[in-house]
Structure 1
């Protein structure tokens, strides 16, 4: 049974290394299990390269058959009762730094761990796009203007609008833009990891305005964008949740409020499976509860 599970993981994660991370086995053990399965069957199941593996014709047929068998066994195990569904083990999560710190996500983690005492969390905060399958993560939190095409499963957690924001001192010196096209004459701070760093798009009624942006300050952190705005350096298109405190206390103000920009949606992303493991399901349900699938 172990060899069948190993073979399935290699196919679904696309490499021996990724499967080894998922199963907690060494790459050598993964390779040994697959080789012994091939020897038992008398056929080659996988074509191997230095980076990836692919199914042979026999391997494709065998994968379809054993997947149904393993899924049926999983379903049988799940039917044994709620005691088998207790979230436990280590939940590995990757999430952007700013999103984690400036939404309720970071503050809610102790509450989640208190709720599930048999569970541990390994939260990696980094602002790069992580391949959760290859790097062995159970789940990713991502903020995107639009959902990318993917074999991964996604669940929307919340939505926040973008606002054009700057310090009152900046607008006192350089004036207030009355139309999106006026932004061409302003100092714009660019968050380069967004889906629209070089073009800001605005809508009002039937009118759409696309503004090309090429500012003097380009940065990969929304926190750094916020700091530049508070210093009066310029203005930027930024998720409102990232500057909510500064807007409330008057350090920043919004302009072009009669125009709408693209919304930023926050998703939980996890590998597609017929049966979601309890720890992932528990965390996703918790995030929906805490973040409320609301707007800000």
Structure 2
């Protein structure tokens, strides 16, 4: 069984002190210090209002490659460079001012986040409680920053 919980979007974020006033489109990201996270080496972007799609691949000034989203988020907050991070990692740091949202009108297409479990019959009570908790936690969450 699968139950849809939320949609996950990724955001282009950078250190709070980085001057990004000249960044107006994804191509303007070229040359900025960048942190990449495998396997998302190419950022599939879509403009939220126009629907225009672009793919951005950093080719120069790559400061670090990681394979962990938490580490990616920490090094961006630490000032290493810009990166493409999930909204659930970005939101608390954006609210606290530790990072900034770059090109807020550009994001990835929403990815569904589902909870999977074996079946509806004979579910242990603790699993049923967990399913109910998760459904309540994500109720009405559209995953948009």
When normalised by structure 2's length, the TM-score is 0.79
Give 2:45's aligned residue.
202
Whole-angstrom CA distance in 2 between matches of 1:176 and 1:290: 39
Identify, as 1 or 2, the structure richer in strand: 2
Which string of whole-angstrom CA distances, capped at 9 and with x for unpartnered residues, describes residues 50-106 of structure 1? xxxxxxxxxxxxxxxxxxxxxxxxxxxxxxxxxxxxxxxxxxxxxxxxxxxxxxxxx
**Does structure 1 residue 183 correspond to structure 2 residue 29?**
yes
**Alpha-carbon spacing, 1:186–1:228, altered in 2? closer, same or farther (3 Å):** same
Give 1:230's aligned residue.
77
Give 2:12's aligned residue.
164
Q: Note if contact 1:189-1:216 (Cα within 8 Å) is conserved in structure 2.
A: yes
- Output aligned runs, 1:1-296, within 5 Å: 153-171=1-19, 176-192=22-38, 197-204=40-47, 205-213=50-58, 215-271=62-118, 273=119, 275-279=121-125, 280-296=127-143
Taking CA–CA contacts closer than 8 Å with sequence separation of 6 or more, which of the two structures ends up with the larger relative contact order?
Answer: 2
Whole-angstrom CA distance in 2 between matches of 1:274 and 1:169: 50
Offset of 1:277 from its aligned partner?
1.4
Offset of 1:211 from its aligned partner?
1.2
Which string of whole-angstrom CA distances, capped at 9 and with x for unpartnered residues, describes residues 228-260 of structure 1? 111211111111221222211212110111223
Q: CA RMSD in A?
A: 2.3
- Mind listing any 5+ residue stretches in structure 2 that lack a counterpart? none
Whole-angstrom CA distance in 2 between matches of 1:221 and 1:285: 29
Q: Secondary structure at the match of 1:169?
A: coil
When normalised by structure 1's length, the TM-score is 0.42
- Mind listing any 5+ residue stretches in structure 1 that lack a counterpart? 1-152
Identify, as 1 or 2, the structure richer in helix: 1
Larger Cα Rg: Structure 1 or Structure 2?
1
**Alpha-carbon spacing, 1:168–1:274, altered in 2? closer, same or farther (3 Å):** closer
Whole-angstrom CA distance in 2 between matches of 1:289 and 1:232: 36
